[in-house]
Amino acid sequence: MARPGATCPPPARRVMVAARALLFWALVYSYCGVCACIAGLRLLWSIGRRPGETFRWVVRENPPACLNDPSLGTHCYVRIKDSGLRFHYVAAGERGKPLMLLLHGFPEFWYSWRHQLREFKSEYRVVALDLRGYGETDAPPHKENYKLDCLIADIKDILESLGYNKCVLIGHDWGGMIAWLVAICYPEMVTKLIVVNFPHPSVFTEYILRHPSQLIKSGYYFFFQMPWFPEFMFTLNDFKVLKNLFTSQATGIGRKGCRLTAEDIEAYLYVFSQPGALTGPINHYRTIFSCLPLQHHEVIMPTLLLWGERDAFMEVEMAEITRIYVKNHFRLTILSEASHWLQQDQPDIVNKLIWTFLKEETKRKRE
């Protein structure tokens, strides 16, 4: 019998690692199957109720005027040498000012930062990016092109292509995940980190395995592992799922929030109704389980975490736990009446909190 505390011999260790991996992937694909069955039942219910409407899919031919609003900035493109991909972004504020780089979540695009583009252009060069596979940015066809390493490298390469070596980095939802990882891997490039409604990735991976309620809320991570079916479900009833994400009582912006206008909704429908427009965004999720957990964890720059307490997808308890991974000034603000779509839901409050954090950090440095 091995002594207490003795290390396992290599063969035994390999067996344990293999067993844990087997259990992990069994969980992933089992839950993927459950989510697929639920989606299939919803499809059948929709066909039974309104068969003529279920498969209606209208491709929006022309962008709504709000996407070309000059007050939001200028539409620009940059091609990255290493990947060869062309990225689309909207930039506001004078060139040469400090860079503020904005990373959107799912299913969003640069337009989700419209309130911040207007607000911060007075003191920053504000750049709202379409992530790889989204909107007018190129979308590689294979899911392997959406691994986290590629997404992190995109941000580094874009920063350099814009002529900067550092920035204030802000990310929401999936863009928040990328922002955390960029801050961990390239700390010299991030002067200040601001994340909206996404915990430190290590908190997320540990919490989801211990809390079934969060596992259920993150069911779409598992559902998205399937080929083509998730994209198909989004198109049903002329993208009813997409509309409901932003407007329904369960997941949308709340009664006290800044609701999306009909034109705002049309902007999202214009982008995601294009043929193939959903595959790139969903591919971001299709490699996630092979990329986590992380080997490196610590964040060493000043960090602000903003959280809408009424988030239907992320439990607020993860926000406070995130504190242990930030080895610098950390500020957490939880807004009790706000939804997951925080920077669109409560733009005035969010902008004020960001200004306070930025100016507070500038004052702290001077002292």
Q: Which CATH architecture has domain 65-359?
A: 3-Layer(aba) Sandwich (3.40)
Q: In what order do the strands lie in the sheet with 330-335?
A: 74-79, 86-92, 125-129, 99-103, 167-172, 190-196, 303-308, 330-335
Continuous segment of H or E residues that includes residue 270: helix 262-272
Catalytic residue list contains 211: no
Cβ neighbour number for residue 311 with a 10 Å cutoff: 23
What's the pTM? 0.91
What tokens does 144 get? 């392997």
Cβ neighbour number for residue 355 with a 10 Å cutoff: 13
Dihedral, CA of residue 320, residue 171, residue 101 and residue 130, to nearest 10 = 180
CA–CA separation, 155 vs 162, rounded Å? 11
pLDDT digit string (tens) for 40-68? Answer: 888 888 888 888 788 889 999 999 999 99
What tokens does 207 get? 């919490």
- What letter would DSSP give residue 218? T
Among the listed residues 285, 311, 325, 345, the single catalytic one is 285
- What letter would DSSP give residue 92? E
Q: How do 190-196 and 74-79 pair as beta strands? A: unpaired
Q: Are the beta carbons of 196 and 318 closer than 8 angstroms?
A: no
Task: Supply the pLDDT for residue 141.
Answer: 94
pLDDT digit string (tens) for 289-303? Answer: 877 666 778 999 999
For residue 56, list its beta bridge partners.
none
Dihedral, CA of residue 255, residue 260, residue 265 and residue 266, to nearest 10 = 140
Phi-psi region of 84 (alpha: psi -120 to 50; beta: other; left: phi over 0): left
Q: Are the beta carbons of 198 and 176 closer than 8 angstroms?
A: yes
For residue 170, list its beta bridge partners.
102, 194
**How many Cα atoms occupy the beta-carbon half-sphere of 317 within 13 Å?**
8
Catalytic residue list contains 130: no
Cβ neighbour number for residue 283 with a 10 Å cutoff: 22
Catalytic residue list contains 173: yes
pLDDT category of residue 7 using cuts at 50, 70 and 90: very low
pLDDT digit string (tens) for 121-157? Answer: 999 999 999 999 999 999 999 999 999 999 999 999 9
pLDDT digit string (tens) for 66-85? Answer: 999 999 999 999 999 989 99
CA–CA separation, 25 vs 31, rounded Å? 10
Task: Using the structure block, give the residue that is written with the tokens 């001077």.
Answer: 366
Provide the 3-class DSSP secondary structure of residue 99: strand
Question: Cα-flanking dihedrals φ and ψ of residue 186, to 5°?
Answer: -130, 65
Number of residues written out for the chain: 367
pLDDT digit string (tens) for 88-118? Answer: 999 999 999 999 999 999 999 999 999 999 9
Q: What is the mean pLDDT of residues 299-311?
A: 97
CA–CA separation, 185 vs 116, rounded Å? 26
- What counts of helices (H) and strands (E) characterise the chain? 14, 8
Please list the helix, strand and coil fractions of the chain in percent, rounded to the nearest 5, in that order.
50, 15, 35
Among the listed residues 173, 264, 311, 345, the single catalytic one is 173
What tokens does 56 get? 């209606």
CA–CA separation, 234 vs 256, rounded Å? 27
Burial of 301 (0-12, 13-18, 19+ CB in 10 A): buried
**How many Cα atoms occupy the beta-carbon half-sphere of 294 within 13 Å?**
22
pLDDT of 239 > 60? The answer is yes
Where along the chain do its domains lie?
65-359
pLDDT digit string (tens) for 160-183? Answer: 999 999 999 999 999 999 999 999
